[in-house]
Each structure stands twice: as structure tokens, then as C-alpha cells.
Structure 1
Amino acid sequence: MAKVSTEALGQEPIGSLLIKQALPASIGILVMSLNILIDSIFVGNWIGSIAIAAINVVLPVSFFIAALGMSIGIGGSSIISRALGSNQKEKALRTFGNQITLTFICTISFVIVGLYFINVIIPQFGGKGDIFDPAKIYYTIVLYGVPILGFAMMGNTVIRAEGKPKFAMIAMIIPTVGNLLMDYVFINLMDMGMHGAAWATTISYTLCFSFIAWFFFSKHSELKISIRHLRLDRSIVSEIASLGGVTLARQAVVSITYLLMNNILFDLGQEALVAVYAIIGRMLMFALFPVFGVTQGFLPIAGYNYGALRFQRVRESINTAILYASIVATIVFIGLMTFPAEITSLFISTNENMSAKELALNNFVLSHTAEPMRWVFAATPIIALQLIGAAYFQAIGKAIPALLLTLSRQGFFFIPLLLILPNYYGELGVWISFPIADVLATIVTGYFLNREVRKKLLVRPAT
């Protein structure tokens, strides 16, 4: 594998550079999304739709931990990209060392708290009725792998900040392949049920972490830290926290969203509607992988060139990223509008050997998911502007606007809509909250991004 230097971020044509950065990120996200998707298909067909709902209850916790590592990773990576762009190698090394220390402290603390409050957390996230017991099994085992997951997500973003997207892609592929193989062995061959699904996930985290650790000890990484770099530096920690807080806050809001959705839908339709949302949630992760890939590829390009005061390249990267992401988002939109019923049928088995209760639940989910899926993805073609716009402020180190724009969709618009509309429109009110929030957040982000470009990026930097 050819070595890619960080200087390429400031030299190569933006179009081809974005493809080089975004394609591995997209493939990596695709593989991870396929992991979640196929894992859900395996669980749904081999264990049942209640098991899918149980995993959906635990996902907010897993996502929050992943976001904790990713927030430390992205916050530090923004500093690293700009430091490398301005030839401040020592600052980049100290930042990486501080990321490692912060990840260790935060993830270990979360495991302790998560295990202590296990019987409170699961019901709060919708793990009620028949969902509680399988959710508790999955939650307990997955929580043991939380520190490893945190380090894996943190390290992956740093690899990308170094301009090594192919290694970041491989780091995402390894646990996916491992998880799917272990799913087959633990669930299908060894009949371990939810225990098997949970252990497959936890072991896959370890595989990912092992590869990332190898990368940083190998010749491929430019960040060779020593013990002294692990000592926390107040200014660096503060900057990591302010920038990484954007990602963490976004995921915290996502976790709150899952909590509200699972509870509201359980009240409206019991386990059946929770299972419907679980399938739609998997598609939200899977279908938009190329859009998220373009966003991830855009971050180091914008950060490096902003640090190097190459504002014309920053403008070009914004426009190109929005164009590419909008094209793929439209293609995704067409597919989801055309084949929602066929997509749903992949997750659910109607084997007549199952119990009457399980069969009735599965038939409901099969017949009831297509229309909600269309509503949830109705505004997909326009979301690229919102994602790239929020990512731009994060890439250049402007934490407050990045935080506000990142939270705009789910925090400022979706959650209030979710609390209001179901009171008037019932279940429909839940689903139409998605596209309304997308449209409002895109309008707000477009306004602030345009103002920032005109104010900052059209000014020739002093030489």
C-alpha cells in the first residue's frame, strides 16, 4: 500500500483528493453499516423480531460510547490536521498522546457507571415488556468491550487526519467481517442466542483495536509518541473537548432521540412499533453511508488547507463535497422510495414453525414498515448541505457554530417535533417529524455557511 503524505492534502486537485479521502471512508462506513444491517438480518431470522428490538434499545448506549471515542478522535484530529498543515509536529504528537489518556479515563468511567445503573438504563431506553431480558443480556456483554470500542473509534479518526484513509478503511472492515463470521458461528451453529450476538460484537471491537494499535506502532504512522506526550495538557484538553464536544453532543442527542422514539412508539404500538423503528434505524445507518463518507473525507482536506491559509482550496472543497454528497443522497432516496417493502422483508422471517405471537408480530412489521420508511427518508436529497456545512465549522476549529449546527436537526427541531406532533397525529406524527426537521436544519445551516464563506473565505490571507 502506497504511503500518502499529509502534504498531499494541500497540493492535489480537490475533486480527485476528495474521492481518495471519501471513497475509503465510504467503504469503511459501508462495511460497518453492512455489519449492523446483516447482523440485524441474522438476529431477526435466527432469533426473532423481539431480538432486533432489544438490540435497538442497547444501540444508543453503544453509539454514545463510540461517539465518546470518536469525539475525542475528531476533536484532536482537527488540531492534528491544522498542526500538520502549519508544520507544528510537536503539537500534533502532544494532541495524540492526550487523546489516548482521555479515552482511557472516559471509557473506564462509563463502564463502571453503566454496569451499576443497568436496571435503570435499559427500561429508560425502551427495554420494557418482552424486550427487557434479551436487552439486558446484550447490554451487559457489549459494555465489557466499551474501552476497546472507544480506542478503536478514536484511533480511526486520527489515522484519517494523518492522510491515511485506506488504513482507516481497513480498520473498519476487519471487525465487520469478524462480527459476521462470529454471528454465524455463535448464533446459528452454537445456538447461543443473544449471548452469541453480544460476544460476536464485543470480540469484533477487539479485532479493530488490534489493527489500529499495529498501525501506530508501524512505520506507516507519522505520530510516534513517547510517555511524556500522554501527560494531559490543559490547553489541548480544552480544545479537544470544545471541538470533540460537537460530536459527543450530537450523539448524546441521538441517544435521547432513541430513548424518546422507543418509549413513544412502545406506548403507541408496544413491541411491534419498536421493531418497525429498529428496521428503519438500520437503514438510516446503512443507506446514507456514502454521504457520511464524503463528510469524513472532507474534514481533513478543509482542516489542513484552512491551517495552511489556502482559502480558495477550502471553498472548492466545500462546493465539491456538497455536490458529490447530494448526488449520492438522491440516488439513495430513489432506491428507498421504490423498494421499501422489499427492504423490510430482508429482516423478518415468517417461518410457520415460530410461535403464533411471534408470527403475528413479524407479519405486522412486514406490512407496516414501508410507509414510515418513505416518510423518514423523504428529505434525503437535501441533507448533504446540512452535514457538510456543520462539518466545515468543526474542521476549521470553530466549536460553537459547529455544535449549534450539528444539534440543529435533532436537538432544536426533531425532538420538539417528536414531543408535539404525535399528540395530534399519533403514529404519523412520529414519522413526519423526520423530513420536517431535515428541511428546517438545512435552511439554517445553508444560511450560516454562506455567511461564513462570504466573510472569511473570500478574503485573501496576508502573506
Structure 2
Amino acid sequence: MSNTASKDLGTQPIGKLLIKQAVPASIGILVMSLNILVDTIFVGNWIGSTAIAAINVVLPVSFFIAALGMSIGVGGSSIISRALGANNTTKALQTFGNQITLTLLFTILLIIPGLLYVDDIIPVFGGKGAIFEPAKIYYTIVLYGIPFLALCMMGNTVIRAEGKPKFAMYAMMIPSVANLVLDYVFINLMDLGMAGAAWASTLSYLLCFLFVFWYFLSKNSELKLIKCQFKLKLPIVKEIGSLGFVTLSRQAIVSITYLFMNNILFDLGGETSVTAYAIVGRMLMFALFPVFGITQGFLPIAGFNYGANQYERVKQAISTALKYAAALATLVFIMLMIFPEDITRLFTTDADVIKETPSAMRWVFAATPIIAVQLIGAAYFQAVGKAIPALLLTLTRQGFFFIPLIFILPKFYGELGVWMSFPISDVLSTIVTALFLHREVKLNLSKTAA
């Protein structure tokens, strides 16, 4: 089996390699984020601002189930990267087969109760008042497509672990472009409303799955599975679980955050505040695409070189990724501080939403220049298979700091306290991550590399 692409991770110059890995990842994330952004603009202008809030209510439920695929993918891909670095192709193949089996099992098991208890789930996540009915329509249809999305997210991380970032980019672009086209057809031309938006998303997930399925059957992939590799092996499942749990915990915290935020903001400001949060949330996904791209590009480089015992290259990868990500995050910060009003007007003509959102956006992005430390630090520990510190750092920002703050600060500052919680939690979690990362480099990478 030829594995030239994966071997490049251990030989090419770090700066060049990071750009090679990060640019396709960034483009893929950009297109995916543009899809979410434009989808929200279409929904807001063609259906109404309440529809934006409805999608925001559904997002944490579908996001968490789909995140199972991502967590299994990231956990397994860490193993695959290190196995390829150590030239252990047997373990890489067994891991991939187990990833597929686990993704199918968990997503299907979660979707069944998700459909049975829809009327109870939606209000819990903030789908109250006028938001409930459109949220129910969207949720019910989108849930059918979540297994395909989970498999796509799992497969995407494996493709990147093989050293094939361009194919990973294509896997992210296909559903994004398809969703926008289908949005226009179903919502604008066929006037299907929320059902149209939901079917556009579901069918786009299916198209993504078909592409990923084709990739692994083609000669492009190094991972050629046989039937016996789908059988779960306890040591591999445990390793996937321990590392994947880091990603799953992060996505679970994101879903819990949406739950709390939607309910807190609904109580403080009604549908208007929930809609403002939905717009800011879309910008969080979109504006930071280059920083997320650097993080995604960094993961296989760190994992492969750690598995190959090339610790000096791991240190170089950390340093280079931090520099690139910090520079890009600063550019994002400047843009959002200058143009929040113009950005808000793209989504809605609702005067109340336009009045509230820009101030919220400035608060939410106030600490953006320093987030590179959080992202790269947590990604390093996950890439090299150190599950406990990776988990702790993943939970630090939202679990240990942000969620407590959104319950405490509004008691003193009202709705402003909710928005203030974002930069405060960013600063605190950056300090913690920096301390962990500095200690790791000093005590382990430097000593081993010497």
C-alpha cells in the first residue's frame, strides 16, 4: 500500500506543510460557514426573523448527534495519524472499520428517541411561543439526515489524517453548495417555507455522504477495508472513546450552551434576543474559518510526527500554528469591530434585531485575538493522544467559565451580562491553556527531543 501522502507529514518543512494542510481545510470550513451564513440570510429574508430563531433552537440537538460522528472521527483519526507515522497500517485499518460501526450505532440509537419526544425536546432548547411550530417542522425533517452528516464528519477527519486535505475540502464544499442551491429552489421558487429549508439541509447531507463513500472505495484512499475490520475491538474502541470523548464533550457543551443561552435570552429579551444570538452564532462559525482551518491543518501534522518520535517537528508545528492562527484571529477581530451593523443588516430588516445585535457582536468577539492559544493548545493534546488534558482544556472555556458566568453576570448587568461572559471566559481559558501547553513543551517535548 502506498502511503506517500501521509509520509509527507513527517518530511516537508513545517510552514509549507501547515499551509498545505490548512488552506484546503480553511476553504472547506469557509464554504461550510458561508452555507450556514447564507442559509440564515435566505431564511431570515424569505421566511422571517422568527425562522432564524427556530433554526437556532434545533441546532444544538442535531449538532450534538452529528458531533458523535465528528468525535469518533477525531478520536480515531488521532490513532490513524500516529499509526501511519509508526508504519502500522493494520491498526489504521482496524481503527477506521471500528469508526464506521460506532458512528452508525450511536447516531441511529439517538435519533429514535429524538423523533419520539420531539414535542418535549424543542421547548427545553428554547423553542417557545412563536418559535415552537417552525422549529418542530425543521427539526423533524433534518433529523432524518443526521446519520449521513455524522458519517460525513467522521469520514472527513479520516481523509485529513491520510494527508489528503483537498479531498477533505471537497467533502465540506459539496453539501454547502448543494444546500444553497436547494434553499433557493425549495424556499424561494417552491415556497415550502421551513420544510423547504429542512429538506435542503437533509439532501445536502446525503450528497456529502455519497462523495465520502466514493472516496474510500476509490484508489485515492490508502485505507481499504475488509469485512472483519468492522467488528468492534475493545482496545481500539476504548482508545477512540477516550480521545473522541474530548470532541464529544466540546460539542455537548456547545449544545448545552445553546440550551441555556436560548432560554436565558428568551426570558430577558424574548424572540429578538434569541434571534440576535442566532446571528452572532452564525458569525462565530463563519468569521473564524481561517483560525479553525489552521487548527484542522495542525492536527495530522502533530499526530504523525509525534507517532514518528520527531518531537522537534512537533514543537515547530505548535509555534508556527500559533503564529498563523493569532494573526488571522486579529484580522477577524478588526473586521467585526468596524462593521457589526452592516453585517447584521444582511440577515434581517427587523429594527429591534438590528438595534440589539451589533453591541452583542462586539462583546462576543472582544477577545478574539487570543483564542489561537485555546484552539491550538487543546488540539495538540488531542493529536498526540493525551486525552485527559485535552478533555480538561476543551471543557475549560464553556464548561468551567462561560456557563457559570451566564448565570451569575445577568443578575448584576441584565442581558449585557450574557454578552460580557464571552470575552471574560476567553481570557480565563487562554491563561489556563497557555500554562498547560508551556509545561508540556518544557517537560516532555524538549526533554525527549534533546
TM-score bin (small chain): over 0.9
Tell me which amino acid in the other structure corresponds to 1:407.
L
* 1:329 Cα deviation from its structure 2 partner: 0.2
* 1:66 Cα deviation from its structure 2 partner: 2.3
Tell me which amino acid in the other structure corresponds to 2:192.
M
Partner of 2:334: 334
C-alpha distance in structure 1 between counterparts of 2:449 and 2:4, whole Å? 27
2:430 is the alignment partner of 1:445: no
Structure 1 unaligned blocks of 5 or more: 350-361
Partner of 1:458: 446
Partner of 1:423: 411
* 1:286 Cα deviation from its structure 2 partner: 0.4
Partner of 1:17: 17
Tell me which amino acid in the other structure corresponds to 2:447.
V
Query: What secondary structure does 2:347 align onto?
Result: coil
C-alpha distance in structure 2 between counterparts of 1:4 and 1:132, whole Å? 52
Q: Is the 2:312–2:449 contact (alpha carbons within 8 Å) kept by the matching residues of 1?
A: no
2:282 is the alignment partner of 1:282: yes
* 1:460 Cα deviation from its structure 2 partner: 3.6
Partner of 2:27: 27
The CA deviation string for residues 286-336 of structure 1, in whole angstroms up to 9 with x for no partner, is: 011111110000000000000000000000000000000000000000000
Partner of 1:201: 201
Partner of 1:224: 224
The CA deviation string for residues 341-399 of structure 1, in whole angstroms up to 9 with x for no partner, is: 000000013xxxxxxxxxxxx11001111111000000000000110000000000000
Partner of 1:355: none
* 1:4 Cα deviation from its structure 2 partner: 5.9
* 1:110 Cα deviation from its structure 2 partner: 1.0
* 1:224 Cα deviation from its structure 2 partner: 0.1
Query: What secondary structure does 1:26 align onto?
Result: helix
Partner of 1:75: 75
Q: Is the 1:65–1:149 contact (alpha carbons within 8 Å) kept by the matching residues of 2?
A: no
Partner of 2:370: 382
2:257 is the alignment partner of 1:254: no
Partner of 2:101: 101
Structure 2 unaligned blocks of 5 or more: none
C-alpha distance in structure 2 between counterparts of 1:67 and 1:106, whole Å? 11
Q: Is the 2:175–2:204 contact (alpha carbons within 8 Å) kept by the matching residues of 1?
A: yes
2:80 is the alignment partner of 1:92: no
The CA deviation string for residues 204-231 of structure 1, in whole angstroms up to 9 with x for no partner, is: 0001000000000000000001000000
Partner of 2:66: 66
Tell me which amino acid in the other structure corresponds to 1:436.
I
Partner of 2:382: 394
C-alpha distance in structure 1 between counterparts of 2:147 and 2:249, whole Å? 19
C-alpha distance in structure 1 between counterparts of 2:382 and 2:59, whole Å? 25
C-alpha distance in structure 2 between counterparts of 1:372 and 1:231, whole Å? 49
The CA deviation string for residues 245-277 of structure 1, in whole angstroms up to 9 with x for no partner, is: 000000100000000000000000111100010
The CA deviation string for residues 393-447 of structure 1, in whole angstroms up to 9 with x for no partner, is: 0000000100000110000000000111011110010000000000000000000
C-alpha distance in structure 2 between counterparts of 1:217 and 1:174, whole Å? 18
C-alpha distance in structure 2 between counterparts of 1:209 and 1:126, whole Å? 30
Partner of 2:396: 408
Alignment of 1:109-148 (within 5 A): 109-148=109-148
C-alpha distance in structure 2 between counterparts of 1:295 and 1:460, whole Å? 24
C-alpha distance in structure 2 between counterparts of 1:45 and 1:5, whole Å? 45
Partner of 2:347: 347
The CA deviation string for residues 171-196 of structure 1, in whole angstroms up to 9 with x for no partner, is: 00001110000000000000000000
2:160 is the alignment partner of 1:172: no
Q: Is the 1:279–1:344 contact (alpha carbons within 8 Å) kept by the matching residues of 2?
A: yes
C-alpha distance in structure 1 between counterparts of 2:116 and 2:320, whole Å? 47
* 1:461 Cα deviation from its structure 2 partner: 5.3
Query: What secondary structure does 2:87 align onto?
Result: coil
Partner of 2:323: 323
Q: Percent of counterpart pairs with the same letter?
A: 71
C-alpha distance in structure 1 between counterparts of 2:134 and 2:157, whole Å? 32
Selected match of 2:353 from 348, 359, 365 = 365
Q: Is the 2:108–2:147 contact (alpha carbons within 8 Å) kept by the matching residues of 1?
A: yes
C-alpha distance in structure 2 between counterparts of 1:164 and 1:304, whole Å? 13
* 1:147 Cα deviation from its structure 2 partner: 0.8
* 1:49 Cα deviation from its structure 2 partner: 0.2
- Return 111-120 or 192-201, whichever deviates more: 111-120
Tell me which amino acid in the other structure corresponds to 2:354.
L
Partner of 1:48: 48
Selected match of 1:436 from 407, 424, 427 = 424
Q: CA RMSD of the aligned region, Å?
A: 0.9
Query: What secondary structure does 1:372 align onto?
Result: helix
Tell me which amino acid in the other structure corresponds to 1:88.
N
C-alpha distance in structure 1 between counterparts of 2:196 and 2:41, whole Å? 14
* 1:77 Cα deviation from its structure 2 partner: 0.1
C-alpha distance in structure 2 between counterparts of 1:457 and 1:417, whole Å? 35
C-alpha distance in structure 1 between counterparts of 2:293 and 2:158, whole Å? 15
Query: What secondary structure does 2:222 align onto?
Result: coil
Q: Is the 1:4–1:164 contact (alpha carbons within 8 Å) kept by the matching residues of 2?
A: no
**How many correspondences in the alignment?**
448
The CA deviation string for residues 46-84 of structure 1, in whole angstroms up to 9 with x for no partner, is: 000000000000111121122110000000000000000
Q: Which runs of 4+ in 1 moved over 4 A?
A: none
Tell me which amino acid in the other structure corresponds to 1:381.
P
